[in-house]
Amino acid sequence: MDAMRLVILGAGGRMGRTLVRLASEAPEFAVAAAVERPGSAHLGDDAGTLAGVAALGVPVSDDLEAALREADGVIDFTAPAASVALALQTARRGLVHVIGTTGCSADDDAAIAAAGRDGARIVKSGNMSLGVNLLSVLVEQAARALGPDAFDLEILEMHHRHKVDAPSGTALLLGHAAAAGRGIDLADRSVRVRDGHTGPRPQGTIGFATLRGGSVVGDHEVILAGEGERITLKHHAEDRAIFARGALRAALWARSQPPGLYSMRDVLGL
Ligand SMILES: NC(=O)C1=CN([C@@H]2O[C@H](COP(=O)(O)OP(=O)(O)OC[C@H]3O[C@@H](n4cnc5c(N)ncnc54)[C@H](OP(=O)(O)O)[C@@H]3O)[C@@H](O)[C@H]2O)C=CC1
Ligand SMILES: O=C(O)C1=N[C@H](C(=O)O)C[C@H](O)C1
């Protein structure tokens, strides 16, 4: 099969640069276009140079329509409004759309699901790494085995100082896995903030705690705390390449799937 022609949306960002670098090094892919928003300081820069590899002859552009005409798929680690708007376009064109963007609202997620029904081949996940998706399976198993009441479940995450959404997409993904294991809906049972006189911990809830600072790529811990014992399941991301590798794998996988909305667990067969 011909190399998959990819548009990298948000090519000047932390993930965008990592994606350009890894896609340009893999024979399965061709970086067809690199897109940033109108007015971005990166417009006109060579995407390869920006990513710290050899020049690719692909200038960063703000012409998304033109970029999509030449593409088999888009990799999108940007912001919720950008991902929702793009999903309308990938649906119209039947393109692969890999969405790593986090911080989406319920309405955003509904619009993205609709785009999957309308023709896009979407893979969306709060974390594209193999390790976190395997961890989510383990968390689901542990929550199911321990039941809802004997062990309290808390999810702790730490990220770099630039991160704008909380809890992280990964923390929510792990929370959903825990809720699935317990047979409950996360939205009904999550405690996302504690402050002041909170009273004792409501039984059966799933708590979240958020830390921000420095250059931390992404740390997550799921703590199951019982009477007299505690189980901790952890993942430490050391390099953004783990997310980019997962996203590229998802793009290739989605190319041969019917339109729809898929998760990384679908991609990885977990
Ligand atoms: N699922 C996963 O595995 C991972 C998900 N993420 C998520 O990916 C997202 C991006 O993270 P990160 O790379 O660190 O963030 P950055 O802010 O470094 O990069 C985002 C890029 O997207 C650009 N952008 C925003 N809106 C548009 C638009 N409408 N059109 C084109 N470009 C746009 C931004 O431009 P500007 O600066 O001008 O706004 C910026 O260059 C976040 O939601 C993050 O949580 C991150 C890592 C892994
Ligand atoms: O913004 C980040 O950096 C990351 N975002 C994702 C998240 O919200 O979980 C994934 C990863 O942890 C890095």
pLDDT digits (tens, 9 = 90+) for 156-192: 999 999 999 999 999 999 999 999 999 999 999 999 9
In terms of domains, do 116 and 247 share one? yes
Comparing CA positions, the residue from 245, 255, 264, 252 lying closest to residue 15 is: 245
- CATH no. for residue 161? 3.30.360.10
**249 and 184 in one domain?**
no
163 in catalytic set: yes
Chain-wide mean pLDDT for the chain?
98
What percent of the chain shows pLDDT beyond 90? 99
Burial of residue 2 (CB within 10 Å: 0-12, 13-18, 19+) is exposed
Count of the separate structural domains present in the chain:
2
Does one domain contain both 50 and 181?
Answer: no
Rounded Cα distance, 140 and 270, in Å: 12
CATH number of residue 21's parent domain: 3.40.50.720
pLDDT at 1 (0 to 100)? 79
> Do the Cβ atoms of 58 and 33 come closer than 8 Å?
yes
Same domain, 81 and 12: yes
Mutate to test the pocket of ligand 1, among 8, 15, 99, 134 (most ligand atoms within 8 A of CB): 15
189-222 pLDDT, tens digit each = 999 999 999 999 999 999 999 999 999 999 999 9
Ligand 2: residue of 129, 168, 239 to mutate (most ligand atoms within 8 A of CB) is 168
CA 170/CA 132 separation, integer angstroms: 8
DSSP 150: S
Report the predicted TM-score, pTM, of the whole model to 2 decimal places: 0.98
Q: Is 124 annotated as catalytic?
A: no
Q: Model ipTM? A: 0.99
How much is the pLDDT for 148? 87
113 & 33 share domain: yes
The reply, when asked if residue 97 is annotated as ligand binding, is no
